[in-house]
């Protein structure tokens, strides 16, 4: 009998596996051929502690030390530019994300292709970091395996049955018996809940599109910060010698292997192109991922209100990579009956009981 059967091998499931392995035997079932295939593998890969709702920010803060010790962070910085048309959004983002206003000349020093005729204000801070997402996933997976966890890919779950001792889960013709079922299935969390006879909580997957461009004007982008428009209307981020640009779209969709909407991507590239002096001449690649949110946009961590052996680890949205160390530790603390380091109000804001 497995103590914790985790459905989902993205950052949510793998980080949970590493933490829950301290409490009992863990098995992870991932439907795809590799871990982190869907949202986790298509992340913008940033650690920005002040990004998200208050409960998410608390998880981000609780994750910082782990990220630093795992050596998955590298300096990036964050630059926002704006003008009179988006002044309110600019001021709000400065306050919420703790950005310091800088002059236009300093912004141009950071990113020389900015069109100085298109912005008259800028803000920046250095406390934003690239995350080595593959290394983070593998660090958690290695830790989980070291503690005896089994991690199975190509293991799509086809049936879940509540039994007297817990759960019977069928995957690729094999049956697994577990005391506790951990739902870390990303965009499919409500689907998995329904399979288990648990009431869904109303999660919505939202598509987020990205394009990878050659380095604009042949510039060396290594020291450029991430660049974004006020109100998160678009962003651009250096990545391995190229530039990732996103329209920061949020189109509600059904759970699926996401792909870009060409019109949405084109509109986002136009917003980016309007702020720089270098035109977009070609794409190296484009893709999309699904950012899945609960109705209140907070993560959902802990046992279901009506069945304590069904455990939610869901609703990571766009914050999964940066918040994973803190959220997985909180989940293990809750399940293990330990006092969390995170305050009680935040724990309540993340609990599935808020939907009861």
What pLDDT digit, counting tens, does each position of 181-210 carry?
999 999 999 999 999 999 999 999 999 999
Q: What is the reported pLDDT for 83? A: 96
- Asked if residue 128 has pLDDT above 80, the reply is yes
CATH of the domain spanning 2-60+132-202+295-355, picked from 3.40.50.720, 3.30.70.260, 3.50.50.60, 3.40.50.300: 3.50.50.60
Quote the CATH superfamily of domain 78-125+204-293. D-Amino Acid Oxidase, subunit A, domain 2 (3.30.9.10)
* Best CA proximity match to 169, nearest among 185, 146, 147: 185
Strand-pair partners of 162: 167
Q: What is the reported pLDDT for 71? A: 97
- Asked if residue 39 has pLDDT above 60, the reply is no
- Asked if residue 43 has pLDDT above 70, the reply is no
- Asked if residue 318 has pLDDT above 90, the reply is no
Q: Where are the domains of the chain?
A: 2-60+132-202+295-355, 78-125+204-293
pLDDT, tens digit, for every residue of 234-282? Answer: 999 999 899 999 999 999 999 988 888 889 999 989 999 999 999 998 9
- Asked if residue 42 has pLDDT above 70, the reply is no
Q: What is the reported pLDDT for 18? A: 98
- Asked if residue 121 has pLDDT above 90, the reply is yes
- Asked if residue 41 has pLDDT above 60, the reply is no
State the pLDDT confidence band at 286, using cuts at 50, 70 and 90: very high
Q: Are 293 and 314 in contact (CB under 8 A)?
A: no
Q: Tell me the average pLDDT of the chain.
A: 95
């Amino acid at each position: 009998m497995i103590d914790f059967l985790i459905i989902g091998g993205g950052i949510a499931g793998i980080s949970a596996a590493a933490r829950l392995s301290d409490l009992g035997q863990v098995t992870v079932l991932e439907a795809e051929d590799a871990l982190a295939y869907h949202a986790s593998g298509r992340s913008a890969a940033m650690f920005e502690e002040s990004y998200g709702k208050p409960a998410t920010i608390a998880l981000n803060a609780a994750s910082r030390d782990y990220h630093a010790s795992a050596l998955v962070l590298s300096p990036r910085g964050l630059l926002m530019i704006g003008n009179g048309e988006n002044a309110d959004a600019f001021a709000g983002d400065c306050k919420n994300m703790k950005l310091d206003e800088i002059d236009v000349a300093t912004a141009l020093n950071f990113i020389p292709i900015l069109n100085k005729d298109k912005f008259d204000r800028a803000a920046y801070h250095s406390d934003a970091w690239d995350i080595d997402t593959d290394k983070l996933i593998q660090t958690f997976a290695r830790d989980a395996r070291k503690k005896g966890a089994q991690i199975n890919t190509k293991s799509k779950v086809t049936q879940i049955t509540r039994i007297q001792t817990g759960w019977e889960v069928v995957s690729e013709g094999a049956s697994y018996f577990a005391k506790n079922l951990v739902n870390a299935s990303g965009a499919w969390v409500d689907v998995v809940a329904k399979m288990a006879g648990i009431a869904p909580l109303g999660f919505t997957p939202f598509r987020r599109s990205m394009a990878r461009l050659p380095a604009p004007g042949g510039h060396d982008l290594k020291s450029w910060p991430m660049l974004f428009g006020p109100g998160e209307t678009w962003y651009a981020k250096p990545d391995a010698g190229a530039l990732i640009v996103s329209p920061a779209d949020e189109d509600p969709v059904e759970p699926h292997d996401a792909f870009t909407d060409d019109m949405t991507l084109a509109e986002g590239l136009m917003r980016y192109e309007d702020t720089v002096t270098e035109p977009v001449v070609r794409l190296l690649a484009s893709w999309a991922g699904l950012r899945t949110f609960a109705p209140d946009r907070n993560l959902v961590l802990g046992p279901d209100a009506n069945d304590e052996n069904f455990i939610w680890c869901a609703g990571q949205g766009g914050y999964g990579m940066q918040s994973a160390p803190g959220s997985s530790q909180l989940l293990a603390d809750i399940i293990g009956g330990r006092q969390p380091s995170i305050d009680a109000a935040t724990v309540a804001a993340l609990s599935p009981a808020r939907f009861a």
